Amino acid sequence: MPSLSFAAPLWLALGIPLVLVVALRLRTLPAAHAGTRRRMVQATMLLSALCAALAIARLELASRIDRVATIFVLDRSRSVENAADDQRDESLAAIREAVEAMRDEDLAGVVVFGAEAATEVLPQPRPQIGRTTASIARDGTDIDNAIRRALADLPAAATPHVVLLSDGVETSGDALAAAQIAGARGVTVDTYAIERAPSAEVAIDRVIVPP
């Protein structure tokens, strides 16, 4: 059920006297205003004063939102794609399990990312989660961009939620800054760690060039 609240209730201290003053002045309308015309003028002016008082107090009509919209942000960078198959399958299985547990009115979407991010599945009721097919650059991990993409995909009329599935090895962007932006918008960001065994890395030991 919708509920009423005031964002600036202290302004009612000014608005209420304003309504009272207008109500008193309406009793002294000129004699030319009589009968039905007089009552219409009084009602219009009193209603206008009341609306002005509610406006300066910033009246808000709020209603509870039961629908939840969740964007799953899946890491597809090479560091994760080179992990064992069971680790990749576990991430997709976790998403499917979460989707199956959702209510019929809830929404779920998927964003995949590496060095860049792309929407794999737009938010919808009980989407089918299969192997990801969105084309992205995978030579990097930009969690910042991925979270921002998820925020852009979240619908307005739902309680927002983001779930990040990644090994957390960030190579560009600022994931903390993106998480702070999400928090400022009232979006919860949870994480699901993708574990991977350490492997040999390619590195430059030294460079020799002519003088």
Mean pLDDT across the chain: 84
* Buried/exposed code over 120-142 (b: 16+ C-beta within 10 A; e: otherwise): bbebeeebebeebebebebebbb
107-113 and 159-166: which strand pairing? unpaired
| pLDDT tens string 149-177 | 999 999 988 899 999 999 888 889 999 99
Can you give the pTM of this predicted structure? Answer: 0.65
Give residue 201's pLDDT. 62
C-alpha torsion sign, points 165, 166, 168, 170: negative
| pLDDT tens string 36-55 | 877 887 788 888 888 888 88
Inter-CA distances, 158 with 62, 67, 71, 106, 108, Å: 13, 5, 12, 8, 11
Q: Which residue has the higher pLDDT, 172 or 198?
A: 172
Q: Who's near 50: CB < 8 A, 6+ residues apart?
A: 19
* Torsion, CA 88, CA 131, CA 137, CA 107, rounded to 10: -100
